[in-house]
Structures are given as C-alpha cells and as structure tokens.
Amino acid sequence: MKKTILSIIVLLFFSYNLISQNLTVSVVAVQGGFDQSEGLIIEWTLGENFTETVRSANKILTQGLHQPHLKTLKINEERLLSLDHIRIYPNPVNSILNIQLHKDFLTHYTINLFDTNGRVIKHLNVSENTTNIEFDMSDLSSGIYLLKISDVFISKSNTYRVIKH
C-alpha cells in the first residue's frame, strides 16, 4: 500500500512539471489580415470553414474561430449636423481666418489646408473644448486654397474654398 501511495505522489510531482497542450485561438484560412487606422481596427479572414450566423429581430450572432472585438459607438442624429454649423470668415482673408464651431456640436476635428495641387499646407487637430479658432494664413502667398474640416468620430468632412489676398 505504501508503494502505491508513494508511486502516485511521485507521478503527480513529475506530471505537475510537464508541459501539456496550450489552448490558443487560431484560424486556418486562405487569407487574413489586420489593419489599423485612427479610430478603426479591422481583422478579417477569407475562406474560414467554421462559421455560422444566427439572426433574430434585434440581434445578430456570428460564431466561428475568428471573432471580432466589437466596439459600438452610438451617434446622435443631431451630431451629424455638426459640420453644418461652422462659420468661416473673413473670406477673402488677409492674415487670420476665423473658424467658429457651434458650441452644441463640440467634437474632435482635424483641419487641413490644401493648395491647388492637393498638397497639405497646414494641419491642425482641434479638441472638444474649442469653439473659436484663429487660423494664421499670413505666411502664405495670395491664391485659392481648400480648407477641409473633418469630424474624427463620424468620418464626415466639409471642404471650403478660401481666397487669400
């Protein structure tokens, strides 16, 4: 009896230090990839064999080896109007172009100024708390420029023609 108990203890001790299977999530597919840009991550596979999608009135469930990490962002419909409430003055401009953002639609904006060849001349990131921006154009030569204002969160942008004297 002592030999049996001793044998079991020795086997348990040695088996504790052994490496066994390691379970990790992996996919065998024809093609796949991972791409990332500002605010967006895409993971995809092509030709995944084991997938199933179940739908009900208000839910969708996709099952398979490659599962996304889903992050949803609810956009208020009023927010879609955020770029429609921007004032840009004076136009034509001599030195300082004023950009006025509506206080009810504060969000993160990017502002790019392009020349007529499509090159970015100036770039500015605008935080949520900013309503008035003074965009200095005094160092630029006279001509026509395009001012593109983009809402970072909803990927909507408006472009304005600005004349510099």
Q: What is the secondary structure of 15-84 as a DSSP string?
A: HHTS-----------SEEEEEEETTEEEEEEES-SSEEEEE-SS-EEEEESS----------GGGGGGGG
CATH 2.60.40.3080 maps onto the chain at: 77-164
Is 77-164 in CATH node 3.40.50.300? no
Compare 72 and 62 and report the one with higher pLDDT: 62
Report whether pLDDT(40) > 60.
Answer: yes
SS3 (DSSP) at 126: strand
* Residue 141 pLDDT grade (very low, low, confident, very high; cuts 50, 70, 90): very high
* Residue 115 pLDDT grade (very low, low, confident, very high; cuts 50, 70, 90): very high
* Residue 80 pLDDT grade (very low, low, confident, very high; cuts 50, 70, 90): low
Report whether pLDDT(8) > 60.
Answer: yes
Residue 151, Cβ neighbours under 10 Å: how many? Answer: 19
Compare 59 and 126 and report the one with higher pLDDT: 126
Whole-angstrom distance, CA of residue 133 vs CA of residue 113: 14
Q: Which residues contact 160 (CB under 8 A, 6 or more apart)?
A: 88, 91, 146, 147, 148, 149
Tell me the per-residue pLDDT of 126-139, one tens digit each, with 9 for 90 and over.
877 778 899 899 99
Report whether pLDDT(147) > 80.
Answer: yes
Give the torsion through C-alpha atoms of 62, 63, 69, 70, to 10 deg.
Answer: 20
pLDDT of res. 81: 46
Q: What is the mean pLDDT of the chain?
A: 77
Whole-angstrom distance, CA of residue 99 vs CA of residue 69: 38
